[in-house]
Amino acid sequence: MKKVTVLALVAFCAVGILFTSCDSKKSAKLNTTLDSVSYAIGYIQGGGFKDAMSGLPGPELSYGKLLAGFEASFYGEDNKMQITPEEAQQLINDYFVRIQDEEASASKAEGDAFLSENKTKPGVITTESGLQYKVEVEGTGARPTREDQIRAHYRGTLLDGTEFDSSYGRGEPLTIGVTQVIPGWTEGLLIMPVGSKYTFWIPGELAYGERGAGEFIKPNSTLIFEVELLEIVK
């Protein structure tokens, strides 16, 4: 679970609110340089706050309630506090862990359904581990071993077609050890002769599992990779 990441985002949001909410009930007239700088900081931080909020899992939070809670704490208005700090921390932890568990379950169900249908398509081979692949171009070179380094071009997408990584986009192939990648990649590379281009469908347990990765790859996500094995690096 990404509890630490989630709480870091919430902390960042609080910083954003510090600059955007404290004078929310006051006039925005800019009478002095300090007024203008304060307003400018709030304006800039407001955009960052909005971006951070959009990165949180689950449905959109209630901004009104969020601001009310922040102001009660910031101004020390004990009579307006409806929960204790300890209760607040536990609520945050429990809520985001539950949301992430729900998203992970949904991602796994979506991936399982996709793979179940995909394995019936012409040319798709399913290995014992659950990895699926299709030979787009079969090379004639050697196959790498677990001890080798390789150079490869690749493109990674989600099931909905969202591209999350691409060596083609960077204009430079990846050079990496065969065992320094996700398990689905390692298994796939070991069956590819140099000069080949394969498409891999990698179930979540052979990809980033329950932790997910980055902004786009949710826990238990099934991933699609187009991989072109260029050479074994000596």
- Residue-wise pLDDT tens digits, 29-64: 788 999 889 888 878 877 777 677 666 767 777 777
| pLDDT in the model for residue 146 | 97
Cite the active site residues. Answer: 154, 164-165, 182, 208, 225
Instruction: Kindly report which listed range (60-69, 103-112, 126-135) carries the lowest average pLDDT score.
Output: 60-69
pLDDT for residue 72? 78
Position of tokens 């699926």? 132
Residue 218: which residues within 8 A CB-CB, separation 6 or more? 103, 104, 107, 212
pLDDT at residue number 23: 46
pLDDT band at 85 (very low <50, low <70, confident <90, very high): confident
- Predicted pLDDT of residue 19: 40
| Close Cβ partners of 9 (under 8 Å, ≥ 6 residues apart) | 52, 55, 56
pLDDT of residue 136: 98
- The answer, yes or no, to whether residue 170 has pLDDT greater than 80, is yes
Cβ–Cβ < 8 Å for 222, 164: no
pLDDT score recorded for residue 77: 66
Residue with the larger pLDDT of the pair 215 and 149: 149
Q: Is the pTM of this model over 0.75?
A: no
How confident is the model at residue 29, as a pLDDT? 79
Q: What does pLDDT average to over the chain?
A: 84
